[in-house]
Structure 1
Amino acid sequence: MRYRELGRTGLKVSEIGLGAEWLERHTAQEVKEVVLHCEEAGINILDCWMSEPNVRSNIGAAIKGRRQHWIIQGHLGSTWRGGQYVRTRDLAQTKSAFCDLLERLGTDYIDLGMIHFVDEEEEFHRIMDGEFYAYAGELKEKGMIRHIGMSTHNPAVAKLAAVSGKIEMILFSINPAFDMLPASEDMTEYFKESYDEKLGGIAPERAELYRICEKNGVGITVMKGYAGGRLFSAETSPFQVALTPVQCLHYALTRPGVASVMVGYDTPEHVDQAVAYETASEKEKDYATVLANAPAHAYYGQCTYCGHCAPCPSGIDIAMVNKLYDLAVMQPEVPAALKAHYEGLTANGKDCAECKSCEDNCPFGVAVTEKMRKAEELFK
């Protein structure tokens, strides 16, 4: 495993990391197996943005006695209310959720305290000039977080963070598909139905962001490196050609300022597929040949399972329903295991009230209510 400096934090992180989101759907034993396999492979950084209590506890149990091995990204503003994830700027709720994170992970500090999911410039300024950033500063002064970071999908917000002098590192979405598209405060504008021919390469705003981060010593950790897995299939990729995990990782890790890619794993085998990057040949890493003739197609309307559609008034785990649906339609027949998983959810497509609050929250313009209807028809 190779390690990189995370900006000016003084931390050295494995260039392949653990994005723990997928561990939500696994047992404590399965979580432990993945975490231990990561550790054995030399992975030393994990991101836990999730507020769901069980996954936090399971991760805590998995790293018990080995806390010193891990550099942890924990998020401020990711809360659990009414059985669902809720992003908030309410300070009382944020404080409670952070205390819960420490307790369940079995630690008294978080290495990278991430101001969670800031995608609008106006909100960025409110946070930085108000009590929310002040709270992060207090935690740092007390040693409860060691460095202050921010997560965002918007390169304009990321640039503001990188030049602020107050944000030490950024969790940002990077993959070949996203990087072709221009910045916008309206997230749906990132995923237009067609590309302008002039945008055949990386969008200038994104290239500039990476250069600024490298220049200013603001480290980047990467989310969405696989674009929710869609880049692995010619049928679902905007390029209509499949990329490999190694190619996706190489793309992200060749952006200036990038220190580590947070990869989601379901199994130890998934860990091995990512860690294979460390011994891959230049031919195996080559993504440029695949991207040379990218067709005019983008991600608008496609779920990447980010979970930002929550909270659902009916309690539906929308990202999970969409994930199960997308997996099922790729098969000649609906697998029994997927049908059982769908039917075992506390709430699923049949419970959708069609209020469309999820569609208002979705950064990718997904027609969620339609997807819920399709899922119910497919699995019933």
Structure 2
Amino acid sequence: MEYRKLGRTGMEVSVIGFGAIKLPQVSLDQAVEAIDRAIELEVNFIDTARNYKDSEHKVGVAIKGKRDKVYIATKTASRDYDGAMRDIETSLRELDIEKVDLLQLHTVSDEDVYARVMAKGGALEAARKAQQQGMADHIGITIHRAHSVMRKAILSGEFETIMLAYSPLDQEGVEREIIPMAHRSGMGVIIMKPLSGGTLASPNASSKTKPERDPIVFGSLWYIISNPNVSVVIPGMRSAREGEENVQVGEMTRPMREEEIRELRYEIGKLGIEFRYGQVCLRCGYCQPCPQGIPIPEVFRAYDMFKGYPDNLKHMGVDLYRSLPVSPEECVECGECEEKCPAGLPIRERLKMVVETFKGLI
């Protein structure tokens, strides 16, 4: 496993980290097994968040007796001092640890949110207080898509790390400007959504006959860590097998060559994906729960499968849509999901589009 310095935090982190966003999808035993295996494979950076449902609790159980082997990062999505302090205290209780190595302000999605967390009585003030009280060693920020906010956060000097979305499909501005700028400032660069929220997982990713490693998943992670300004990438994991596959990338001893990058882009092109951030659902789950119970990420996953997969596999999208516990037709257009979507998707209009697409097929 390759290790890199996480900016001026001084932490030496495995280039492949453990993204704990998917742990709520599996049982406690499965989550513990996944984390145990990742630690065995020398992964030493685990990222979770207060709003990842029971993820923090599962991480806490898994690292019992292994705290010295891992760095723990969590996040607060509260914008004011009181809410952030409550989150930090709850996180420590759920993780069952005395302090986190990295506390991040979560999903600072636009200029208004940035102003709120930075203001007197804002979340940053709470993070600083937690740091002074020994509840957190370092402070970072996570920003999904607002490049102007990324620039402000970097130039502020207030944060030691920045987490942002970056993949072979999502390079515009991030690869050329933001990542180098953060690195030059001494910040650790943490990459989320390396597979564009699962968009880059191949159609046969869940097949029992799948190859030992998915070439697009492997190639996408390799592409990201080939960028020397990246400190760590945190693919979401929920099984020991996923960890084993992802860790193989951290064992690569050289960056991708140009011909390998071209081949990766060719393979991605065969999936039929046209991607630009803010146009495709990343299935992060931040829109959940829907008051009507609509599983919005799965609705869009079914649509993407139907539209993007070759003809002989389109039935997978239809089957998934048919299995949804609540149809998107139940949408009452309350708009709660759009307020929470970090990619700013027009979810209500998209749901109507999906309903029309599958009409007559179900």
Q: Structure 2: how far apart are the matches of 1:211 and 1:14? A: 20
Q: Are 1:104 and 2:94 counterparts? A: yes
Do the aligned partners of 1:17 and 1:263 also contact (CA within 8 Å) in 2? Answer: yes
Question: What is the rounded CA distance, in whole Å, between the counterparts of 2:157 and 2:65 in structure 1?
Answer: 35
**TM-score for the superposition, normalised by structure 2:** 0.80
Q: Which moved more, 1:301-310 or 1:164-173?
A: 301-310
SS in structure 2 at match of 1:113: strand
Identity %: 26
Say whether residues 1:119 and 2:94 are aligned partners. no
- Summarize the Cα distance change of 1:360–1:128 in structure 2 as closer, same or farther, 3 Å threshold: closer
| Residue 2 of structure 1, CA deviation | 1.1
1:162 aligns with 2:140: no
Query: Once the 2 structures are TM-superposed, how far is the Cα of residue 234 of structure 1 from its aligned partner?
Result: 8.9
CA distance in structure 2 between the partners assigned to 1:39 and 1:309 by the alignment: 31
Q: Which amino acid aligns with 1:369?
A: L
Give the Cα–Cα distance (whole angstroms) in 2 for the partners of residues 42 and 251 of structure 1: 21
Q: 1:230 is paired with a residue of what secondary structure?
A: coil
- 1:324 and 1:342 in contact (8 A); partners too: no
How many residues are aligned here?
338
Q: Give the superposition deviation at 1:53.
A: 4.2
CA 337–8 in structure 1, closer or farther in 2 if over 3 Å, else same: same
CA distance in 1, matches of 2:284, 2:8: 29
Deviations 1:34-91 (A, max 9, x none): 10110011001111125254332222211112122221111112xxxxxxxxxx4244
Distance change (3 Å), C-alpha of 1:337 and 1:27: farther
| Alpha carbons of structure 1 residues 32 and 323: separation in structure 2 relative to 1, 3 Å | farther
Whole-Å separation in 2 of the counterparts to 1:291 and 1:30: 33
Could you say which residue in structure 2 is the equivalent of 1:253?
225
- Do 2:295 and 2:324's aligned partners in 1 also have CA atoms closer than 8 Å? no
Q: State the AA in 2 paired with 1:258.
A: V
- For 1:183, the equivalent position in structure 2 comes to none
Alignment of 1:202-351 (within 5 A): 203=173, 206-233=175-202, 244-280=216-252, 286-291=260-265, 297-299=274-276, 300-310=278-288, 312-323=290-301, 326=304, 331=313, 333=315, 342-343=324-325, 349=328, 351=330
Letter in 1 for 2:7: G
The alpha-carbon deviation at position 379 of structure 1 amounts to 10
Question: 1:268, 1:284 → 2: CA distance?
Answer: 26
Question: Does 99-108 or 359-368 show the bigger shift?
Answer: 359-368
Q: Indicate the larger mover: 45-54 or 138-147.
A: 45-54
CA distance in 1, matches of 2:357, 2:63: 36
Q: Secondary structure at the match of 2:153?
A: helix
User: What is the deviation of 1:157?
Assistant: 1.6
Which of these residues, 107, 129, 142, is aligned with residue 119 of structure 2?
A: 129
1:266 CA drift (Å): 2.9
* Alpha-carbon contact 1:322-1:375 (below 8 Å) kept: no
Distance across 1 between alignment mates of 2:183 and 2:317: 46
Q: Which runs of 5+ in 2 are unaligned?
A: 205-213
Change over 3 Å in CA distance of 1:146–1:340 after alignment to 2: farther
Rate the CA distance shift 1:306–1:335 in 2: closer, same or farther, 3 A: closer
Shift of the alpha carbon at 1:334? 5.1
Q: Give the alignment partner of residue 333 of structure 2, picking from 336, 346, 354.
A: 354
Runs of 5+ in structure 1 lacking a partner?
78-87, 181-202, 236-241
- Whole-angstrom CA distance in 1 between matches of 2:322 and 2:60: 29
Distance 1:379 1:261, change over 3 A: farther
- Aligned CA RMSD, in angstroms, stands at 3.4
Residue in structure 1 matched with residue 71 of structure 2 by the alignment: 71
Does the 8 Å CA contact 1:112/1:148 hold for their aligned counterparts?
A: yes
| C-alpha distance in 1 between matches for 2:255 and 2:120 | 49
Distance 1:375 1:63 in 2: 45
Mapped partners of 2:289, 2:119: distance in 1 = 27
Name the CA distance, whole Å, in 2 between partners of 1:296 and 1:376.
19
* TM-score (normalised: structure 1): 0.77
In structure 1, distance between residues paired with 2:297 and 2:336: 14
Contact 1:246 1:280 in 2 (8 A): no
Deviation at 1:310, TM superposition (A): 4.0
Distance in 2 separating the partners of 1:378 and 1:67: 54
